[in-house]
Amino acid sequence: MNEIIEKMLTRHAIRRFQQRQVDNEILDQILTAGLYAPSAGNNQYSRIVVCQDSEINEKLGRISRYMQFKGQDPKSIAHSISSEQPSIQDDFTIMNGFYNAPTVLTIFTRDGVYAHDDGAMIGENILLAAHFLGLGACYVGRTGEVFATEYGRTLWKAWGVPEDMVPVCNVLLGYIDGPFPHEKPRREGRIVRV
């Protein structure tokens, strides 16, 4: 098997992070990987906001968790995701949906039918680059809802991100703490050959 692909298969969502901040040089490489993702019509109309302010990240992470459960009893709606790197759906005592990651990225893209594809591809390049550089990373959705709140809107403005953009996802980055997760089984029957 091709070595790059082989290594790609060992990427997993990491949610337990060391508190030490990500090395700037490594971060730059990861961001470059994101900027080289394909984009519809080569629009490249996206912004990656890199936030290393722990207070802001924690506030956003709490809102993100809220958007997952919206006041409902987590027990009634959660799915189990990971035991080694528990998500807010596995461990209901985790109150920060950004898992105290020292670096939190927010990816904004051009509004329109391709916004989510464009944003997700940037996110995936970032996850892969982080993995190849020995960092942990996790993709987090619900970003649109988080940035529709008053707090989210205030930050959006303060960060100077154009108003006509769409917040697609967050990517959490940091050095890995806790055990590296096992491969999660992939459901059968997802490939259909015709």
Ligand X SMILES: Cc1cc2nc3c(=O)[nH]c(=O)nc-3n(C[C@H](O)[C@H](O)[C@H](O)COP(=O)(O)O)c2cc1C
Binding site for another protein (CB under 8 A): 1-5, 7-9, 11, 13, 21, 24, 29, 31-33, 35-38, 40-42, 44-54, 56, 79-81, 113-114, 116-121, 123-125, 127-129, 132-133, 139, 141, 159-161, 168-169, 183, 186-187, 189-194
Give the integer Cα–Cα distance in Å for 39 and 42.
Answer: 5
Rounded to the nearest 5°, which phi and psi values hold at 50? Answer: -105, 110
Q: Which does 15 bind (CB under 5 to 8 A by kind): ligand X, another protein, none?
A: ligand X
Comparing every residue's Cβ against ligand X, the nearest one is 38
Verify binding: residue 42, ligand X, rule CB under 6 A.
yes
Q: Could you give the C-alpha distances from 176 to 9, 92, 111, 158, 181, in angstroms and in order?
A: 17, 21, 34, 30, 11
Nearest-5° Cα angle at 101, 43 to 115: 20
81-100 residues near ligand X, rule: CB under 6 A: 81, 87
Residue type at position 125? N
By CB under 6 A, how many residues form the interface with ligand X?
Answer: 21
Residue type at position 19? Q
Verify binding: residue 41, ligand X, rule CB under 6 A.
yes
Among 51, 126, 130, 140, binds ligand X (CB under 6 A): 140
Question: Which residue do the tokens 């970032």 mark?
Answer: 126
Give the integer Cα–Cα distance in Å for 17 and 87.
Answer: 12
Verify binding: residue 171, ligand X, rule CB under 6 A.
no
Q: Which residues bind ligand X (CB under 6 A)?
A: 12-13, 15, 38-42, 81, 87, 114, 117-118, 121, 138-142, 181, 184
